[in-house]
Structure formats: C-alpha cells, structure tokens
Amino acid sequence: MSVKRVGILTAGGLAPCLSSAIGALIESYTEKAPEVEILCYRSGYKGLLLGDSFLVTPSVREHAKVLHQHGGSPIGNSRVKLTNVADCVERGLVQEGQDPLHVAAEQLKTDRVDVLHTIGGDDTNTTAADLAAFLAQNDYDLTVVGLPKTIDNDVIPIKQSLGAWTAAEQGARFFENVVAEHNANPRMLIVHEVMGRNCGWLTAATANKYRERLDELNFLPETGLSRERKEVHGVYIPEMHFELQQEADRLRAILDEIDCVNIFISEGAGVDTIVQEMESRGEEVPKDAFGHYKLDAVNPGKWFGQQFAKMIGAEKVLVQKSGYYSRAARANEQDIELIARCANKAVECGLSGDSGVVGQDEERGDELRAIEFERIKGGKPFDIGSTWFGKLLGEIKQPKGDVVETEHV
C-alpha cells in the first residue's frame, strides 16, 4: 500500500509524553517520508467521530521540536469507547442507530487516511484494536499503529510505557514541597496519593525517586531538620497485602518518636473495600465509559488517611494528590529518548502496513516491535519482587506484604 496521508489522535488521560509523541511522529515522517500528509484529530476519538481535524502545515513540521517543550496534548484528548454505543449516542457523537465503529471507519475513508496513529493507554489501544478489527473485517485498507501512553506503566506485554518515568520524577518533586507541611502541626500524618488504578508501579517508583532526591540533601538534626522527618514511612499499593493493625502499630511508633508520618498510597489501593463500604451506606459509585469506578468519587487517599489517623493518634491529616501535577508535565530526557525510538518504529510500521502497538515486547525478549492488538491488555501488576522495591521497603523498615492476586483487564 502506498501511504499518502496519516492520522494522529491522542486519547484517555494525560501523560508526560503526548505532546512529545506527536512531535516525534511529525519529525520522523518529515525525515523518512516528507511527502506523506499528516492529519491530526482534535479531542481523540471524539474528533474522529465528528470529523474534527486539521492538516499539519510545513511550518508545523519545521518547528515540531517545540512540542517536546510542553506537556499535555495540544490536539486534545477525550475518553470515548467506540463499542459503547449508548455512551456515544448520549454524548451526541453518533446518531441513534449508528455504529460508532462504522462512523469512525467512514470518516477515515472520507479523510483519505491510510495509517492511523493512536497515542494512549490500554483503553485507547483496545479501542484501536476494536477499530482495526472492524476495518479488517469490512475490507477497509487502513493500518492502525498505537503508541503506549500511561503513567501507570501497566500495559501487557509492554516493558515501559511512555511518560511513566517522567510522572514518577514529577511526583517526587511534588512531594518534596508537600512534606515540609509537617512543620505546621504536631503529630501530622501526610498522605501522598499517587495515580495507579490497578498497578502500584508509579507509587513505588515515585517513592523511590523521592528518596533519591533526599539522598542529595544535607540535614541539620539539631534544629529539627532531619532525614527521618522527611522520609517515606509507608508505601501501599494494590499488589501488596498488609495487615492494617500491624502497620498502624509501626506507624504510631514512628509518630511518637519523630512527631510526623509520611505515607505513599496508590489510588487503586483498597478500592474494592472502599466501594463495598460506600454501597453498604446506599451510595452509588459512578463509573466512566469504560466501566471503571471513578476514583475521585472513591477517594482512597482520604479513606486511608481517616483509618490510619484514628489508629495512630494523628492530630491532623493532610491528603495531597500529585496525579494532575505529574501527568500534565513535559517529558524528561529519559522519556524523550524512548518516545523517539518508539515513534521511529511506529512510522516504519505505518509505512510498511504493520498494525499493532509499538513497544518493547516483554514476551519476545524486549524487542521493540508492533505488538499484536489482541495481546494488548491493561492491568499489568507491578512486580513487588523487584530488587529495587525490596531495597526500598527494607530501608524504610516496612514489612513486605503478601502478593495480592489481580486479574488482567
């Protein structure tokens, strides 16, 4: 197939790679196939369904490197599942009786798109898989190539998703300021809630990166400025079971000794327990278009803070969430290098008609390739047996809990 025009869309939540990934795709096409036109859809699959797009101009190609200097997605995101017909109809994206997959396919045909690049997480790329399957079954000659964006780093079988390293670094920077709030009140409990619905990688990596930043600081214990008061005292993630009372006893001893406690909690930790408690009170817990509980309604950080505060005798609880601060950041150098490699491979795959999600395939020796859509799943659990995570728990003297069995979603 001769590629004359490609489309790009970003979808789902933000991550510190979207703007840079758009820039890297434009740069790579300009280098490898400058004759290929590039069309960007505004607001993800919403823009595709509504035919809302724009062509990349020569000026944009010339200045594409500017996109690496910014976070967010300049072309906009949305959460749209093409197989959730009722949601698409309710939101006015398709008419009653229309199939969103068919509408999307016809729009791509109208726009003369030969290759569609989707930049998103597991929901975005499983939606891309649905679209790719529909296109193949209905004889649409179009290649779909995804890039794996998620700060949770939880896409199976991809070794490292784009933006996750930056999110961990930014979460550490965020907490570097928040932690000083322990000076404001005696017996302070500070809860840092980190994004991660099913996977604790980001919480663990953020705690680890924060502690690396502590290693670079000097302290003056005689004045009360000690490493111990700025330390991470507990890390709680969905993959690791812990005894609440045992942890409360350990944290109370720390609070009694240094007058503050700092804990990192994944937003997905304990969600099932919290939802059950809310539903037992007759509360309806809202879900998004993909059927996930809306975590801002569940509010795990607040729940954990309330539970621990009573058990350890904290006088004040401060819950701070770094998610929006982290996920909208510009990509760091480590991520930009990974983004460039993945974008170059995505362009190669697009030009050769090879559909899939580009990433390091953990099941194929970490080869960078277009991974088959049917093998892409969300909910990859963090390996709590990782050497670096075991070292982290050992240094903060937190017992390593049992593995919680999780299902792939």
Would you call 272 a catalytic residue per the annotation?
no
Which of the following is catalytic: 152, 154, 335, 361?
152
**Run of H or E residues at 368:** strand 367-371
Q: Give the residue extent of every domain in the chain.
A: 5-161+331-375, 165-327+384-396
Sort residue 82 into left (φ over 0), alpha (ψ -120 to 50) or beta.
alpha
What confidence tier does 325 reach under pLDDT thresholds 50, 70, 90? very high
What mean pLDDT do residues 279-287 have? 71
| Domain 165-327+384-396: CATH superfamily, name plus number | Phosphofructokinase domain (3.40.50.460)
pTM for the full predicted model:
0.91
CA angle 86, 82, 99 (to 5 degrees): 65
Using DSSP's 3-state secondary structure scheme, residue 344 falls into: helix
The answer to whether 79 is a known ligand-binding residue is no
| DSSP character at residue 360 | E
Q: What's the CATH number of domain 5-161+331-375, 3.40.50.2000, 2.60.40.10, 3.30.365.10, 3.40.50.450?
A: 3.40.50.450
The answer to whether 293 is a known ligand-binding residue is no
The answer to whether 195 is a known ligand-binding residue is yes
Average pLDDT, the chain: 92
Neighbouring CB atoms inside 10 A of 235's CB total: 26
| pLDDT of amino acid 208 | 98
165-327+384-396 shares the fold of 5-161+331-375 = yes
Over residues 20-65, the pLDDT tens digits come to 999 999 999 999 999 999 999 999 999 999 999 999 999 999 999 9
The answer to whether 151 is a known ligand-binding residue is yes
Using DSSP's 3-state secondary structure scheme, residue 8 falls into: strand
Residue type, 72: G
